[in-house]
Amino acid sequence: MKECNPILSVKHLKKYYQISRSATLKAVDDVSFDIYPGETLGMVGESGCGKTTCGRTCVGLYGKTDGDVLYNGADVHTLQGSERFRFKREVQMVFQDPYGSLDPRMTVADIIGEGIDIHHLAKNKKERQEKIYHYLEQVGLNQEHASRFIHEFSGGQRQRISIARALVVEPKFIVLDEPISALDVSIQAQIVNLLVDLQKRMGLTYLFVAHDLSMVKHISDRVAVLYLGTLVELTSSAKLYDNPMHPYTQALLSAIPIPDPNVERERESQKIKLQCEVPSPINTKPGCRFQGRCQYAMPVCREKMPGLVDTGDSHFVACHLCSGEKKV
């Protein structure tokens, strides 16, 4: 997979918000990663870590402060004319809230058909209609649903409509921003299975943003862990669980309860318990963002922000412990 060129390449992306004259919120601070065609990159972190901002900046919904987002080699934020038009078709997004992201005054057919109209994907009305029906069936709904309004649907069905809307323009890359966190457990599994199935059939690439690490690990090939706007670890999902290297990832993994009482009881004694809470991302101090809560914090952590280092086998970690400063 690594031989081909990345479909999306994020380089030193920064997104700052000037809150007042003296206060800057660093929502995304120097984040770099690549996404390869056909893979799913999961992005996890606690609330306020900048994962949604990062996802939205990647598709050009937000402007950037610094850095580059390259889609097939072209800078997303400076695309013009037909290039930009094509980018807007090939990159789609599914939002978290299925209640807020669909227009209540449009029928399902209009919501899905809007993309077809804008991008002139249908020659005539009949083809448009057929396309809408086709994609409704693709996401597990049927033709009868086309003439209905959004308020007639449950959360899970609405999320399916969101997915159909994204799919109808035949995208290559979809940013899924917490697509399942507003849904019930049994419905979550339905949507995740649908996403995996669609990816297999249509060769899609996903950026899957979520806070639920078990679900992210389940769906992703590689996982990026964010903490307070910085990327702390990036590796394949199997390795992330077997061999987490960043102290934050280790703590995050041990904080997630596993639905199995015996396993939970065994883990109880080995759990790494983080003290205190996530500090504010406004006017952060220099040095590692995690050092205040880190049990291995060293003097160097307070002075210098660790860079993302490849520890071998494409396992990227941003921690002074792993970059050869000192081993514990």
Partner 1 sequence: MESEKRQIDTSVLRVEDLRVSYHTYAGEVQAVRGVSFHVDKGEALAIVGESGCGKSVTAKSVMGLIKPPQGEVKKGSAIYFQEENILNYNKQQWQQYKGGKCSIIFQDALAALNPTMRIGKQIMENLQIHKRMSKKQAAAEAVEMLRRVGIPEPEKRARQYPFELSGGMRQRVMIAIAFACDPPLLICDEPTTALDVTIQGQILDIIKDLQKEKNTSVVMITHDLGVVANIAQRIAVMYCGMIVETGLAEDIFYRPKHPYTWALIRSVPRLDLENKQELATIPGTPPDLLSPPKGCPFSTRCTFCMPVCLERMPEQTPFEEGHTAACWLHHPIAPETPVPVLKGGAAHEGM
The window from 2-10, 96-104, 168-176, 247-255 that contacts partner 1 (CB under 8 A) reads: 247-255
Q: How many other C-beta atoms are found inside a 10 Å radius of the C-beta of residue 278?
A: 17
Q: Which of 4, 21, 22, 47 binds partner 1 (CB under 8 A)?
A: 47
Q: Where are the extended beta strands (E) located within 193-301? A: 205-209, 222-227, 230-236
Least Å distance, CB 16 to partner 1, is 22
Q: How many other C-beta atoms are found inside a 10 Å radius of the C-beta of residue 261?
A: 8
Q: Where are the extended beta strands (E) located within 139-202? A: 173-177
User: Is residue 19 within 8 Å of 25, Cβ to Cβ?
Assistant: yes
Residue 76 lies near partner 1 (rule: CB under 8 A): no
Residue 215 lies near partner 1 (rule: CB under 8 A): yes
Number of chain residues interacting with partner 1 (CB under 8 A): 45
Measured distance CA(203)–CA(222) in Å, rounded: 17
Q: Report residue 10: phi and psi, to 5°.
A: -105, 125
Residue type, 9: S
User: Is residue 72 within 8 Å of 5, Cβ to Cβ?
Assistant: yes
Residue 124 lies near partner 1 (rule: CB under 8 A): no
Q: Which two tokens stand for residue 59?
A: 């598709």
User: Is residue 302 within 8 Å of 291, Cβ to Cβ?
Assistant: yes
Least Å distance, CB 214 to partner 1, is 5
Least Å distance, CB 195 to partner 1, is 11
Residue 184 lies near partner 1 (rule: CB under 8 A): yes
Residue closer to partner 1 by CB (options 22, 186) is 186
Measured distance CA(171)–CA(174) in Å, rounded: 7
Residue 154 lies near partner 1 (rule: CB under 8 A): yes
The window from 24-32, 102-110, 130-138, 209-217 that contacts partner 1 (CB under 8 A) reads: 209-217
Residue 61 lies near partner 1 (rule: CB under 8 A): no
Least Å distance, CB 264 to partner 1, is 5
Q: Using CB under 8 A, list all residues that contact partner 1.
A: 46-47, 154, 156, 184-190, 192-193, 196, 211, 213-215, 217-220, 237-238, 241, 251-264, 271, 273-274, 276-278
